[in-house]
């Protein structure tokens, strides 16, 4: 398992064609009958949707900032279980990592953690001989990063390709392919990047097919596969991550721990007249039986956790659902654009990220569901909302009524808020106890006013100290995207609250 063939698709900068090449390679290998494991470096939610289309398997993220370097290889092995080959799409430029953190979370960092060879995708437009200097620089910058080949993108003509190949003969890095400009491979973008697969399913399928066709026509797939098979063993001791949770013990509501059941006065006197040994043994048996049955009933209860999906809420890490299921929940997906009711028996609600601002009219028009969400939150049931979920719980979004769970308003903004965050839980909530440290990611063009409630969700430690988000009753709502694999106790705590609330 630790020697699964693998490679990382990287580039000198964003916009070079990583997604086209990585997705095309995934689809091309899948068409050869290989089981392909798709991965994405960094926190991005959108590219993994295209990877899933290409491979028929869940796209998964590998983020050394959100989850820590120690989890990169285990999460990779978890996703690659049973696969013949793995393709990892990088993020930004090869050596670009978390700001101020050196190589942390860069594509190069992940490639080293996986001991995976790198295929460098180079935008060759407007250059010829200079491509050799560029490739030489990237290949020699860090001797621990093995650049095993180059794929030239946006090549203008046969003559242009010939000049590029001649230049690279002296760089010592083999050319694994050359792709021409093909307009149909372009995928539409908007304010937060590519349009998600869920919003353009048929067009996305066509785009993935076009990427695959271009890669098949322009790349030496045998050479690329051979490079992946030369990856060798992962670092010693690497084992697949598992969402399995140790058994949890239900916690009684605060204030109930030392209370005893009320008894009739007469019974108290009768008991005191009986022999102490007999009375104690019987009481112990009764208490033990009651405690075991009560604890078992709570443990065995399978709470329904409703998870928002559909076109408006497409941002979610696969491990979150796996962790909730492992903690004992039945996870049921619903679509706030179409469903007028929450799933039957909903005991908890998770609303992840997405584009509610694009669908504000439709979300607002679904008044029955908005009222159902508000009623669930008012009942004290656990509700976890990230970014898009935060907007949906506000009183209004761009002037349109939302769920009204939070006394706050949300609106679109021209300013992009983007970056990693180091946060700590300000107080106890359905997700964490006060003082729990989490690393997260913000990515939005909206503003919520006020930005924090009377009980904030998080205190941001970096890059700027501030408080953010809302905790009230069972609600935890914030802009911060987190990866629960880094702190499995989050899912366990949430499901336990679903059982006991």
For residue 42, pLDDT over 60 is answered with yes
**Rounded CA separation 150/215 (Å):** 13
For residue 359, pLDDT over 50 is answered with yes
**For the residues 51-61, what does the mean pLDDT come to?**
96
Name the helix (H) or strand (E) containing 442: strand 437-449
**For the residues 435-448, what does the mean pLDDT come to?**
95
Task: Note the pLDDT tens digit of each residue in 60-116.
Answer: 999 999 999 999 999 999 999 999 999 999 999 999 999 999 999 999 999 999 999
**For the residues 34-58, what does the mean pLDDT come to?**
95
Please, which pLDDT band fits residue 245 given cuts at 50, 70 and 90?
low
pLDDT for the residue 191:
45
For residue 368, pLDDT over 60 is answered with yes
Instruction: Give just the sign of the alpha carbon dihedral 390, 393, 396, 397.
Output: positive
For residue 132, pLDDT over 80 is answered with yes
For residue 192, pLDDT over 70 is answered with no
pLDDT for the residue 189:
56
For residue 411, pLDDT over 70 is answered with yes
**Rounded CA separation 91/53 (Å):** 19
**Rounded CA separation 46/197 (Å):** 8
- Total-model pTM: 0.87
- Comparing 115-129, 233-247, 268-282, the range with the smallest average pLDDT is 268-282
| Residues 128 and 157: beta-carbon distance below 8 Å | no
Instruction: Based on the residue annotation, tell me whether 219 is a catalytic residue of this protein.
Output: no
**For the residues 141-146, what does the mean pLDDT come to?**
97
47-55 vs 18-31: helix axis angle to the nearest 10? 20
Burial profile 288-306: b = 16 or more Cβ within 10 angstroms, e = fewer: eeeeeeeeeebeeeebbbb
Spatial CB neighbours of 102, under 8 Å, sequence gap ≥ 6: none
- Comparing 93-102, 163-172, 182-191, the range with the smallest average pLDDT is 182-191
pLDDT for the residue 299:
55
What is the rounded average pLDDT for all residues in the chain? Answer: 88
pLDDT for the residue 470:
98
Task: Note the pLDDT tens digit of each residue in 198-235.
Answer: 656 678 888 899 999 999 999 999 999 999 999 989 98
Of 83, 219, 387, 498, which is the active-site residue?
A: 387
- Please report, rounded to a whole number, the percentage of residues in the chain having pLDDT higher than 90: 77
**For the residues 425-443, what does the mean pLDDT come to?**
96
pLDDT for the residue 263:
31
- Write down the H helix ranges in 317-436: 318-326, 360-365, 367-378, 388-393
Task: Note the pLDDT tens digit of each residue in 247-272.
Answer: 433 332 333 333 333 333 333 333 33
Instruction: Name the more confident of 123 and 202.
Output: 123
Rounded to 5 degrees, what are φ and ψ at 40? -135, 130
pLDDT for the residue 298:
52
pLDDT for the residue 203:
82
**For the residues 369-375, what does the mean pLDDT come to?**
98
pLDDT for the residue 186:
55
Distances (CA, A) of 293 to 279, 304, 327: 21, 22, 20
pLDDT for the residue 278:
44
Q: Is residue 216 classed exposed, middle or buried when 0-12, 13-18 and 19+ CB atoms within 10 A define those classes?
A: middle
| Residues 135 and 150: beta-carbon distance below 8 Å | yes
Please, which pLDDT band fits residue 484 given cuts at 50, 70 and 90?
very high
For residue 240, pLDDT over 90 is answered with yes
- Please report, rounded to a whole number, the percentage of residues in the chain having pLDDT higher than 70: 85
Rounded to 5 degrees, what are φ and ψ at 248? -105, 150
**For the residues 472-495, what does the mean pLDDT come to?**
97
**Rounded CA separation 187/18 (Å):** 13
Pairing of strands 396-397, 400-401: antiparallel
**Rounded CA separation 244/256 (Å):** 30
Instruction: Name the more confident of 171 and 35.
Output: 35
| Residues 495 and 485: beta-carbon distance below 8 Å | no
């Amino acid at each position: 398992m630790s020697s699964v063939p693998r490679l990382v698709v990287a580039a000198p900068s964003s916009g070079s064609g990583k997604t086209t090449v990585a997705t095309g390679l995934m689809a091309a290998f899948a068409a050869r009958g290989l089981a392909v494991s798709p991965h994405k470096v960094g926190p991005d939610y959108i590219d993994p949707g295209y990877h899933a289309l290409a491979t028929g398997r869940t796209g998964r993220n590998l983020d050394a900032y959100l989850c820590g370097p120690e989890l990169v290889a285990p999460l990779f092995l978890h996703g690659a279980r049973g696969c013949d080959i793995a393709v990892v799409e990088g993020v930004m430029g090869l050596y670009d990592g978390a700001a101020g953190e050196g190589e942390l979370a860069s594509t190069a960092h992940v490639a080293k953690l996986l001991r995976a060879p790198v295929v460098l995708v180079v935008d060759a437009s407007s250059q010829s001989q200079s491509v050799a200097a560029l490739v030489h620089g990237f290949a020699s910058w860090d001797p621990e990063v093995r650049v095993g080949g180059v794929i030239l993108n946006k090549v203008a003509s046969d003559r242009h390709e010939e000049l590029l190949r001649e230049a690279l003969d002296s760089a010592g890095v083999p050319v694994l392919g050359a792709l021409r400009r093909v307009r149909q491979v372009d995928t539409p973008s908007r304010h937060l990047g590519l349009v998600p697969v869920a919003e353009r399913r048929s067009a996305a399928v066509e785009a993935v097919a076009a990427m695959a066709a271009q890669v098949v026509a322009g790349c030496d797939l045998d050479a690329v596969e051979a490079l992946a098979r030369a990856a060798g063993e992962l670092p010693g001791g690497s084992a697949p991550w598992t969402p399995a949770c140790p058994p949890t013990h239900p916690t009684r509501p605060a204030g109930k721990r030392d209370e005893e059941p009320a008894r009739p006065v007469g019974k108290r006197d009768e008991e005191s007249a009986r022999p102490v040994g007999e009375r104690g043994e019987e009481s112990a048996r009764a208490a033990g039986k009651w405690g075991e049955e009560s604890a078992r009933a709570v443990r065995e209860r399978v709470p329904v956790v409703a998870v928002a999906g559909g076109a408006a809420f497409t941002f979610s890490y696969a491990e979150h659902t796996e962790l909730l299921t492992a903690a004992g929940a039945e996870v049921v997906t619903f679509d706030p654009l179409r469903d007028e009711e929450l799933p039957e028996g909903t005991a908890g609600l998770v609303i992840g990220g997405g584009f509610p601002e694009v669908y504000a009219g439709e979300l607002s028009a679904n008044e029955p569901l908005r009222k159902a969400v508000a009623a669930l939150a008012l009942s004290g049931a656990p509700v976890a909302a990230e970014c898009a979920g935060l907007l949906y719980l506000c009183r209004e979004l761009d002037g349109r009524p939302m769920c009204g769970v939070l006394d706050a308003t949300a609106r679109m903004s021209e300013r992009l808020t983007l970056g990693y965050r180091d946060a700590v839980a300000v107080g106890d909530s359905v997700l964490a106890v006060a003082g729990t440290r989490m690393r997260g990611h913000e990515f939005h063009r909206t503003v919520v006013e006020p930005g924090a409630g009377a009980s904030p969700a998080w205190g941001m430690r970096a890059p700027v100290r501030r408080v953010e988000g809302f905790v009230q009753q069972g609600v935890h709502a914030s802009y911060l995207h987190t990866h629960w694999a880094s702190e499995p106790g989050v899912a366990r705590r949430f499901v336990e609250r679903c059982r006991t609330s």
